Every structure is written in structure tokens, then in C-alpha cells.
A and B are shown apart, each in its own frame.
Chain A
């Protein structure tokens, strides 16, 4: 089945530094990738939708200059958290729509970001 590989699975960084999270579709081409953020005991909140070769579409309230999304190829999308602060600590998950079959989405394994 379709697999999305997400790295790193966890990262600890200092305030003010930047962190890059990668998501790769391993056996299919992901023209659209979704980036989510999940706080404890809360839902997956859509941050942005990225389409290969074009600018990402950000949800209301998400700072595009802080959360940089790049989708330069059909198999790779990256999320960079710039100038990270402790309040950015969260669980970030990417998802790709599997074009064939149905409306199903495949999720990455998630990245636990802790900013100290």
C-alpha cells in the first residue's frame, strides 16, 4: 500500500533555532500533501495544504513565515519551523492523498517537536 515516510520521529531544539521535517511518499506520487498539528487530547488541526510546484495554502491563523512548506517534487514535502519557541512544541503529522482507489489518505508517522 501507499506509504509516507516522515522524519525525524522526534526532535528537541533550542528556542530560536529552525527545524525541518520531511515527508516522502515511497511508492506513489503525492501531488498534494497536508500538514497537521496535534496538541494533547485534541484533534488533528490542518495547518496547510501543499501542491507540488506551487505555494502552499495555509489555514487561517497559521503563520506562513513561521511554518515554511516546500513541495518541490512529487515525492517530497518539507515543513520548516523557523525561530522555534516552546509554544511550537507539538506533534506534527503529514498526510498525502492517495490518488488511486478512493479518497483515502496516508499519514506519516509523525514528528514530536520539543522546543526548550
Chain B
């Protein structure tokens, strides 16, 4: 049973527009949430994170929103750039151990 779900396997967006990647979780004990970006044949790289005591964290073009009551978080990328094309993994952490979603492949068209 997946505790972290990314229901959209892929997302296609036009350059300059907003990309919204979604993630749902079931374990209410998760207290920290992270987004990672991954290129093929490479390890994931950390993008942005948010603590369960917050509902929003922003870093440049990237913003993560957390809705604890809905057990939902999202990553917004504005404006999207072709270089953002990658697989994005959502991760939720309990006791410092992360659980990953299956990833969403984002393609940003020029």
C-alpha cells in the first residue's frame, strides 16, 4: 500500500507557464516533506522541502504548498523552463526516514 502517491505519471507544460505537481500521503505521522528532481541515470537532487508546521515554502521559482488536513502537497514551478524537464519525486519523512512517491515526469516544451 503506497503511503505517498503521485497520481500523475507525466505532465506536459509550455515554457513560461506554471507547472503544478501533486502528491498525496496517507500517514499522518509524516512530519517533513521534500521534493527531488531526477534526470535519467542520475541520483535525485534536492529541490525544496517543507516542515509539517508550515503550509508554504518558497525558493525562487519553486514553491511547495502543504495542506495537512487533506494530506496533500504540491510543487509549483513558475515560470517553467525547458531545463526543468525531469522526473520529480515527492518524499515524506517520519523519524528521518523518507518514503518516496513514484515520480511525475515533467516535460516543458519551448
Q: Which residues of A contact B (CB under 8 A)?
A: 4, 6, 9-10, 32, 34, 36, 41-44, 46, 49, 91, 93, 95, 97, 102-110, 112
Contacts and interface: CB of A to CB of B under 8 A. Distances in A.
B25 interface: no
Contact of B42 (A32, A34, A44, A109): A109
Contact of A91 (B41, B45, B98, B101): B41
Interface string B74-85: 000000000000
B25 to A, nearest CB: 13
B96 A103 contact: yes
A44 B100 contact: yes
A107 B96 contact: no
Given A41-B9, A43-B101, A107 B34 contact: no
A105 B34 contact: yes
Given A41-B9, A44-B89, A103-B32, A110 B42 contact: yes
Interface residues of B, number: 23
B16 interface: no
A64 B26 CA distance: 29
Given A103-B93, A105-B34, A43 B100 contact: yes
Nearest to B90: A43
B34 A103 contact: yes
Contacts of B36: 107
Given A43-B102, A46-B97, A107 B89 contact: no
A95 B44 CA distance: 9
